[in-house]
Amino acid sequence: MRIRTIGRRAKVPLRLRLTLAFALSMAAVLAGLGGFLHARLGAELLRGIDLELRSRAGVIATALDHAGPLPIDAGRNVIDPDEAFAQVLDSAGAIVDASRSVRPRPLLPPAQLRKVAGPTFFTERVPGVDDTARLLAVPATAGGHSVTIVVGANLGDRNEALGRLQILLVTGTLAALLLASVIGWLVAGAALRPVERIRSEAAAISRSSPEQRLTVPDTGDELARLADTLNQLLSRQQEALDREQRFVDEASHELRTPLAILKAELDLAMSRPRSHAELAAAVSTAAGETDRLVTLAERLLVLARSRPGRHPLQRETISLRRFLDDSITPFRSQAVAVSSVVTVDAPDEPVRIDPLRLRQAVHNLLDNALRHCEGTSVVVTGRRDRDEVRISVADGGAGFPSAMLDREPSAFGHPSVNGSDPLPHGAGLGLAIVRTVAEAHGGRVAVTNPPTGGARVDLVIPA
């Protein structure tokens, strides 16, 4: 069998990555600054040499108009022979006069001299001069003849100064990078310390303590927003866990009774020989409990899926009166069985709703009402205002417990309030489904006990 091994790429810690990024940024900035300083100093030194060459060329040009020796070797006692030098060349390129260090050959060949129409600078290697030289060629006249004055200066001092500057820049850059890396490491550690604290607090929040929340720093910055976002995430997670627990509690409570009755009926039917009538009664009871289990399973599935965006609506335009008449039809036999009457009070006007979802809500309200209003009437009222539709189901029963009136019907609501005020069996589950349908329509549910007695549930949705 062939086994493929996938290696994991080494992960660099965020603090080290931030330090490296800071160091690389500093290196780029320092390199750019050093290059600029190096180029700027080189240009300034060259500019000073050029000014000096112009001055010397002007002195020699002035001396050509006077009798006497040319000041070509002026300062030769204090200046090295190859530091500053000059030549006077005729039109053919022959040397008329020259400094001692450059007397053997012309500084510029005749081809270059013919191109000189004004002061022109050259950077050349000159025989007898150790380093590269900067030359200035200036046309002039001497005794009525055209000549060219060529003055030069050794660039060795300039190059040496630039070399020293380069060494200083490299040394200083390395030292600055080292210092910047240390500072970046410390700053990154200080910046990430609150993040590590948030991570530690988040890791400490376990399933056993989902109510715990992160400490939000009073800074108003990104870290505060991160902590607030994580707290919202934890709240949603706790809500999901609570929903799951309520679902388990509700399912176990709702399913326990019909399953127990179903098992008892079947065990009783098989415990001894039974007549046909007794078996038929047992099967009828088992079928009824099976229907109840199916209904409970459907309700639990509706609630399990009751999340934002999980109940897409398919709205239709339908008569409000017709919709309510069709909704109560399946409950007429149940109403007769409990000596109750179900009536509808609604105008015959069009409304735009999802009839399937809304009928499911009305069915739950009717089922709850008929199971707790024996011998009384149930009135289903429908009204359409300008911007909303209100459907009410009122019965003449005992009404809702006071504790239930103080809370909003919630998904997977446990059928017992505070352990001492029991709700009618299945009421919490049915109302939770009604609330789910109302919220899917963008509406709301209100639970009240009218002053005249009984219970009333209002389902209000936008028109």
- CATH code at position 345: 3.30.565.10
The answer to whether 136 and 152 have CB atoms below 8 angstroms apart is: yes
Considering the domain architecture, whether residues 30 and 137 belong to the same structural domain is answered as yes
- As a whole number, mean pLDDT of residues 307-336 equals 80
The answer to whether 205 and 212 have CB atoms below 8 angstroms apart is: yes
pLDDT band per the 50, 70, 90 thresholds, residue 33: very high
Name the β-bridge partners of 393. 380, 457
In terms of pLDDT, which residue wins out, 243 or 88?
88
Domain-located, residue 210: no
Q: Using the 8-state DSSP alphabet, how is residue 13 labeled?
A: P
Considering the domain architecture, whether residues 74 and 174 belong to the same structural domain is answered as yes
Considering the domain architecture, whether residues 405 and 448 belong to the same structural domain is answered as yes
Domain-located, residue 209: no
**β-strand pairing of 341-345 with 377-384:** parallel
- Boundary-marking domain end, from 174, 204, 234: 204
Considering the domain architecture, whether residues 320 and 300 belong to the same structural domain is answered as no
Rounded Cα gap, residues 138 and 85, in angstroms = 14
Rounded Cα gap, residues 367 and 331, in angstroms = 8
Name the β-bridge partners of 380. 344, 393
Considering the domain architecture, whether residues 292 and 416 belong to the same structural domain is answered as no
- Boundary-marking domain end, from 264, 282, 304: 304
Considering the domain architecture, whether residues 298 and 329 belong to the same structural domain is answered as no
How many structural domains comprise the chain? 3
Q: What is the pLDDT of residue 414?
A: 40
For the purposes of burial, counting CB atoms within 10 Å of the CB of 324, is it exposed (0-12), middle (13-18) or buried (19 or more)?
buried
Mean of the per-residue pLDDT values of the chain: 80
- Note the pLDDT tens digit of each residue in 416-437: 333 333 344 445 567 777 888 8
Considering the domain architecture, whether residues 227 and 262 belong to the same structural domain is answered as yes
- Residue 196 vs residues 21, 188, 206, 280, 389: alpha-carbon distances, Å: 20, 12, 17, 70, 52
Closest CA to 262 of 279, 282, 293, 286: 286
- CATH code at position 287: 1.10.287
The answer to whether 327 and 362 have CB atoms below 8 angstroms apart is: yes
Rounded Cα gap, residues 373 and 390, in angstroms = 22
Domain-located, residue 310: no
- Note the pLDDT tens digit of each residue in 38-50: 999 999 999 999 9
Q: What is the pLDDT of residue 30?
A: 93
Considering the domain architecture, whether residues 36 and 122 belong to the same structural domain is answered as yes
The answer to whether 121 and 134 have CB atoms below 8 angstroms apart is: yes
Q: What is the pLDDT of residue 380?
A: 93
Considering the domain architecture, whether residues 376 and 423 belong to the same structural domain is answered as yes
Considering the domain architecture, whether residues 272 and 129 belong to the same structural domain is answered as no
Domain that holds residue 138: 12-204
Considering the domain architecture, whether residues 260 and 380 belong to the same structural domain is answered as no
Considering the domain architecture, whether residues 248 and 356 belong to the same structural domain is answered as no
In terms of pLDDT, which residue wins out, 72 or 353?
353
Segment among 106-120, 166-180, 227-241, 255-269 with least mean pLDDT: 255-269
Q: What is the pLDDT of residue 218?
A: 78
- Boundary-marking domain end, from 175, 204, 233: 204
> In this structure, is the dihedral angle defined by the CA atoms of residues 409, 412, 415 and 419, taken in order, positive or negative?
negative
User: What is the reported pTM?
Assistant: 0.51
Q: What is the percent of the chain where pLDDT is above 70?
A: 81
Domain-located, residue 431: yes
Domain-located, residue 135: yes
The greatest distance separating any two alpha carbons of the chain, rounded to the nearest whole angstrom, comes to 158
Q: What is the pLDDT of residue 50?
A: 92
Rounded Cα gap, residues 428 and 364, in angstroms = 11
Domain-located, residue 217: no
Domain-located, residue 324: yes
* For helices 355-370 and 320-328, angle between their N-to-C axes, nearest 10 degrees: 50
- CATH code at position 69: 3.30.450.20
Long-range CB pairs of 29-36 (<8 Å, 24+ gap) are 30/173, 30/176, 30/177, 31/173, 34/169, 34/170, 34/173
Domain-located, residue 311: no
Q: Using the 8-state DSSP alphabet, how is residue 90 labeled?
A: E
